[in-house]
Amino acid sequence: MASLSAADLGAVEWHKSSYSGGGESQCVEVADLSATRDSKIAVRDSKRAAGPVLLLSASAFDALVHLATAQAV
């Protein structure tokens, strides 16, 4: 499987996580690719915007968010 970078996705609209806070040390960005990539959600590190991208199905993304928020409490 070939790796995917943010540059490979073109001009998708990225959204910074509301849990990232005001600092830049731990920021995650997501992009909804449902119109372009078979209902996938892209996830990247905002500090490495041109770096690797994780593509998840909507259900896998929901599970990731659930696990992450459960650990944060």
Q: For 10-30, write each residue's pLDDT tens digit.
A: 778 888 877 666 666 668 889
Residues 6+ apart with CB under 8 A from 12: 31, 33, 36, 42
pTM: 0.74
Q: Which residue has the tokens 């960005």?
A: 29
- Alpha carbons within 13 angstroms on the beta-carbon side of residue 56 total 15
Residues 6+ apart with CB under 8 A from 51: 5, 6, 44, 45
Supply the pLDDT for residue 58.
87
Widest pairwise Cα distance in the chain: 36
Using one digit for the tens of pLDDT, what is the confidence trace for 19-67?
666 666 668 889 988 777 667 898 988 888 888 889 998 899 999 889 8
